Structure 1
Amino acid sequence: MDFELKAAKAKWEREQKQRKEEAKAKIQREKKAKEEAARLREALEVAESERKLQEAKAQAAAKLQEERDLFDGDGVRFNVVLQATQIAGDGDKIKLPASAFEHLSSQDALEKGPMFFEVALYKEHTAIVDSNGASDSSEAKTTHCGVLEFTAPEGYVGLPPHVWLNLGAPDVSLREFPRVRIRYVRLPKCHYAKLTPDSSDFVDVPNHKAVLETKLRQHATLSEGDILTVWHDGVDYNLHVSQLKPAANVSVLETDMEVDVVQPISTPGTSIQNKLLPLELDKPQDGYVEEGKYVYYKFVVEKMVLDAVKMGTRSLDVHLEIDGGGVESDADLYVAAHPVLFPSQHQHQWASHDLGSKMIHLSGGKDLQSSSYSIAVYGYRGRTIYKVWVSSKPTAMSTGQRVGLASHEMQENPAVESGFEICGNCRQVIPSRTIALHEAYCRRHNVACMHPGCSVILRRDEFQRHVHCPKCGQSLQQEELEKHVKVYHEPTACRCGVILERDNMVKHQANTCPLRTITCRFCGDMVQAGKDPENLRDRLSGLTQHESECGSRTSPCEICNRAVMLKEMDLHRVAVHGSNSENRTNSNDGGDVMGINEPASGSEEIRSMTCPICSVVFRGSAADVQLNAHLDSEHFITSSVQPMEQDLTGNSMSASVSSSFRSTLSVACPICGLSVHSERDLSAHMDMVH
C-alpha cells in the first residue's frame, strides 16, 4: 500500500514538474514572440521614416535641381539622360534628337541666342532620379558644348571626340553606349583664357593667334579642366584650359578674348622631351636614328648673320657626320624653313642623299626669309649614329679661273692662242712644245666618259666606279647607284592615293595634293588645302578649297562698314570705293585686280567725303555716317527699272538709256567699266562675261 502511494505521488510530482516546464517554455516563447514583433514593428517604423526622409530629400533635390536648371537656363529647363554615340567632328557641337528641338522651342530657347549644354556621365548607382528626370550629378565630371543639329535618333545623342575625351571616361568602350546627362545652360562670353600645353613643342608653332582662332572657330564653349587638341602641320598638340574669365564655363562665340599660352609645368622627377631638339651654331650634337624614323632639330639664325648669308659674305652650312662612313648604316638630311616644322622626304627646301657624311649649303634666295629652321635626320638603313651641327663662317673672296672643266665645257672656250693646242683626250689647252708628251701620258692614265652630256675626264681607276643612272642619266659612283635609284626613282604612295617618283611626288605635294599643308591667306593658319573649290571664280582666282570656304566668312569693310566676304574684299574696295581715277588701277589680262590702294584709316577726323557714284560731297565729323546712309538709300536699293542689256563681250548698250536710269546703277565693273545695281549683280556679271 505504501509502495503504491509512493509511486502515485512520484508520478504526480513528475506530471506537475512537466506541466510547470511546459508553462514556463510557453511563457518564454510568447515573450520572445512579443519581443520579435516589437523589433519588427520598430524596424518597419524606421524603414518607413527612412523612406519618407529619402522621398523628402529626393523632392528637395528635384526642386533644387529644377530651380538650378531654370536659373542656369535663364528660364528654360532641359535636363534629359540619353545614350551616347560618337560622331565625327573637330569641335564641340553635338547632335540631339528632334524631340529636344521641340522641347526647347516650346520654351522660346531659340530667341535667347546660341544654345549651350552641360554634359556629364550618368551613373545610376549614385544618381537620385525623380519622376521629372532631375538628378544630383555634382560628383560627375562635366564639360560643355554647343549643338550642331537635331538629327540624332530618339534616345541618343552624338558626341564628337572633343566632348567624349573631356567627359573624364576615356576607358569606357563605345560599344557599351554609356548614358550621359544633357542640361541646357546659358554661358557668359569669354574675356580671358589661359592655356597650358603638355609639352614645350607648341612654343615652336608659328602664329599662335591664327592657330587658336582656327581651332576655336569650331567650338562654342570652353570649360576649365578641358583638353583642347590643336592640329598643326600634321601634329596634334594638347592644351589644358587652366583658367577662364569671367566664369569657369564660357562661350567663345562672337567675342574678343585674350589668350595666354604659358610654359608647361614639369613635375619633379620627370623631364619634358621636345620633339624639336634645339641646336646652336657651331655646337655639334651626337645622336642616333632608327631605320625609317625621323629625328628633328631646330636652329635660329640671327638677322645680321642671315643678311650676310644673303649678301654672300658668310656661309651657312648644315653638316651630318655618319659614324662608319655609311657602309652598314646611313641617314639622309632634310632642312626646311619655318613655318614647316617637320621636314620630310617630300616636304623640304634642301636635302642631301649622299652616302656617308653630307653637308647642305644654305644659299641666299627666297628660301632664306625665315630666321628659324628645322632639320630632319631620316634613318635610311640600319641604326645610324651621327653628329649634326650648323656652321657659319665668312666666305673667302677669291678670284681666279675655275679648275677641272669637263671636255664639253672646254669646247665652248674661245679659240686657242698661238703656241697652244687642245689635247685630243682631255680637251684641255696644252702648250705646243709639250703636247706630245701630255697626250701620251693622258691617254695612258685618263679616260673620257662617252655618256651623252657627260664627257668628264677621270683617272682609269676612278672610271671603273663611274656610272650613270639608267633612268635620269645622272653621273654617280658605283656604290651610290642603288641608293639613288631607290630614293629618286622608286614609286611611293601619297596619302591621297597617288603613286609617283620622288621628284614628281615633291611637286605633287607642294602644288596639287589635296592633303598638302598651306598657309591660308585669310586666317593665316597652316591647314590642309583640300580639293579644287566648286566655285569657278574661286578656282580661277587660285583659291584652294579651304581658302574658298574660309574666305566666305564676312568682315566689315573699314570704309563703309558693310559686311563683305573676305575673298571679295579687294573687289569691293575697287568696285565701290575705288571708282575715282586716282584710286582705280587697270586690271591685267586675266581679270585679276592688281595694285589696289587701300584708303588710309587713321585717327584724324574726316573733314569731307565724296560719294564715288554720284559725287555728292558730305562734310563734317559725321561725313562717313552720312555717306553710308546715302549709299544705302540712294544706290544700294533694288530698282524697278529693267537691267541694261549687254552683248556677250560685256560691252554696254547704254547709248539709248536715259540718265535717270544711269543714276540707279551703283557699282562699276573694275574690268570693263559696266555699271550694275549691286555687288551681287557685279558678281553674276563677272561670272558670265569675264
Structure 2
Amino acid sequence: MFAGFNIMFPENARFFQKFKCYSVSMLPGNERQDVEKGGKIIMPPSALDQLTRLNVVYPMLFKLTNNKKSRVTHAGVLEFVADEGKVYLPYWMMRNLLLDEGDLLQIENISLPVATFSKFQPQSIDFLDITNPKAVLENALRYFSCLTTGDSIAIKYNQRIYELCVLETRPGNAVSIIECDMNVEFEAPLGYKDPKTEERKKNEEQFEEPMEEVEEDNKFTFRGEGVRLDGKKKKETQIDIKDVVKKTQVRGIPDYNHPSGLIKFNRSIKPISDRVKESVDKIEDDVSDAFHGSGFSLKKGRK
C-alpha cells in the first residue's frame, strides 16, 4: 500500500513515536473532565494519519514508556486534536509514569489480550462508604480501554475521586477491557483494620497490662518503719526466715543450709504414736474436768 510522497507502509508496520506529554489541564480550550476520569489520551492529527496508513489492530491500544524512569503503562486514545508533537494524559497516568510537564514520552501501538479477571485495592477506607462498589467500578471502567498491573487508577463518584491500585490482571499483566466479560475482586482497603481482630487484640492487651504492672511492682521494695496497732514500739531486731528455720527446724520447712549428702535424724521429734496417745489423754482429761457437781433425777421420789 502506498501513500503520498511515494512512502510505502508495509503490512503490520508498527506505530512508534515520541511526543512531549502534558496533563489534560494544559489542553487549550474548555476543561476536559471526560479525559481526566478515564484511561485514554489525546494525540495529534498526524498520529491518526499515520495510523490509518498502517495495518493496525483495532481497537487502538498504545504502550506508553517513560525511558528515563523505566515506567510503562497502557492506554487507549480518545481524540486526535492535540497540537503537533504533543499528547495529553490524565493526571493519574502522568503520576504512574513519573512524568513532568513537557517530558518526552514514547508511544507505540500494541495488541493486548482480552481481560478475564482483575483485582483492585482501594487506597482509602472511604471507598467502603460506597453502597455498591462493583457497580460503581463497572461504570467508571467504561472510560478505560485497558488495565496494567501495578497502576493506580482514579475514578470519580459523587464528586469525589477514589484511587484504586490494580493488583492483578489476567491473562496478562496488561489487558484490554473493551467488550469483555471480566470478573472483579476487591482487596481490603489500604489502612483497613478488621473490627474482630482489633477487638481480640484489645482484649489480649487488657489481660497483659495487669501482668506488666505486677512485674513492675516486683521491681520495687518497701522501705520505712512499721507501726504497731496497740501503740507499743516495734522491736528493732529483724528476724530472718532462714535463721528461724535453722533454729526451730519446723517440720515441713526445708533447711536451706543443710549440707549436701548429709542425713540428720532429729531425736527431738516424737513418734506419731506417742503424739496420738498424748492427744487422746488430753481429750479425756478435758472431758473429765468439764463434768463436776452432783446430779439430779427428773422423777420425783415417792413419799
**TM-score of the aligned structures, taking structure 1 as reference length:** 0.24
1:187 aligns with 2:109: no
Matches within 5 A, 1:560-571: none
Q: Does 1:82 align with 2:19?
A: yes
CA distance in 2, matches of 1:229, 1:217: 13
Which residue matches 2:59? Answer: 114
Verify: 1:231 aligned to 2:168, yes or no. no
For 1:167, which of 97, 102, 106 is the aligned residue? Answer: 97
Q: Which of 235, 253, 260 does residue 185 from structure 2 map onto?
A: 260
User: In structure 1, how many angstroms separate the alpha carbons of the residues matched to 2:193 and 2:172?
Assistant: 33
AA aligned opposite 2:16: N
Residue aligning to 2:227: none
Structure 1 or 2, whichever has the larger Rg, is 2
Partner Cα separation in structure 2 for residue 241 and residue 200 of structure 1: 16
Matched, 1:145 2:61: no
1:76 and 1:184 in contact (8 A); partners too: no
Instruction: Judge conservation of contact 1:81–1:122 (CA < 8 Å) in 2.
Output: no
Structure 1, unpaired ranges of 5+: 1-73, 124-138, 267-271, 275-690
Aligned equivalents of 1:250, 1:200: Cα separation in 2: 27
- 1:273 shift after superposition: 8.7
Greater length-normalized contact order (CA 8 Å, ≥ 6 residues apart): 2
Question: 2:282 maps to which residue?
Answer: none
Q: Quote the Cα distance in structure 2 between the aligned partners of 1:217 and 1:76.
A: 29
Q: Distance in 1 between the 2:93 and 2:124 partners?
A: 22
Partner of 2:39: 92
Aligned ranges 1:606-645 → 2 under 5 Å: none
Aligned counterpart, 2:50: 103
Matches within 5 A, 1:449-468: none
Q: CA deviation at 1:265?
A: 5.1
Within the alignment, does 1:178 sit opposite 2:86 as a pair? no
Other-structure match for 1:454? none
Instruction: Output the CA distance in 2 between the equivalents of 1:162 and 1:237.
Output: 11
- AA aligned to 1:156 is K
Aligned partner letter, 2:19 = L
Give the Cα–Cα distance (whole angstroms) in 1 for the partners of residues 86 and 60 of structure 2.
18
RMSD: 2.1
Q: Which amino acid aligns with 1:198?
A: Q
Q: What is the aligned partner in structure 2 of residue 156 from structure 1?
A: 86
- 2:247 alignment partner in structure 1: none
Listed one character per residue, the Cα deviations across residues 331-385 of structure 1 (whole Å, up to 9, x for unaligned) are: xxxxxxxxxxxxxxxxxxxxxxxxxxxxxxxxxxxxxxxxxxxxxxxxxxxxxxx
Counterpart of 1:144, as a letter, is H
Q: For 1:220, which of 121, 142, 145 is the aligned residue?
A: 145
Classify the secondary structure of the residue corresponding to 2:113: coil
Runs of 4+ in 1 over 6 A off after TM superposition: none
Measure, in 2, the Cα distance between the counterparts of 1:165 and 1:273.
28
- The correspondence for 2:132, drawn from 184, 199, 207, is 207
Code of the residue aligned with 1:91 in structure 2: it is G
Q: How far apart are residue 217 of structure 1 and its match?
A: 0.5
Q: CA deviation at 1:104?
A: 1.4
Distance in 2 between residues matched to 1:160 and 1:205, nearest whole Å: 24
Distance 1:147 1:75, change over 3 A: same
| Closer, same or farther: CA 235–151 of 1 in aligned 2, 3 Å | closer
How many Å separate the matches in 1 of 2:186 and 2:17? Answer: 36
**Which amino acid in the other structure matches residue 115 of structure 1?**
M
Q: Secondary structure in 2 aligned to 1:201?
A: helix
Out of 241, 245, 249, the residue aligned to residue 174 of structure 2 is: 249
Shift of 1:160: 1.9
State the distance in 1 between where 2:44 and 2:157 align.
33
Tell me the TM-score normalized by structure 2: 0.54
Q: Separation in 2 of the partners of 1:210 and 1:178? A: 36
1:537-616 equivalent positions in 2, closer than 5 A: none
> What SS is found at the alignment partner of 2:81?
strand
User: What displacement does 1:200 show?
Assistant: 2.7
- Equivalent residues, number: 174
- 8 A Cα contact 2:43 2:86, kept in partner: yes
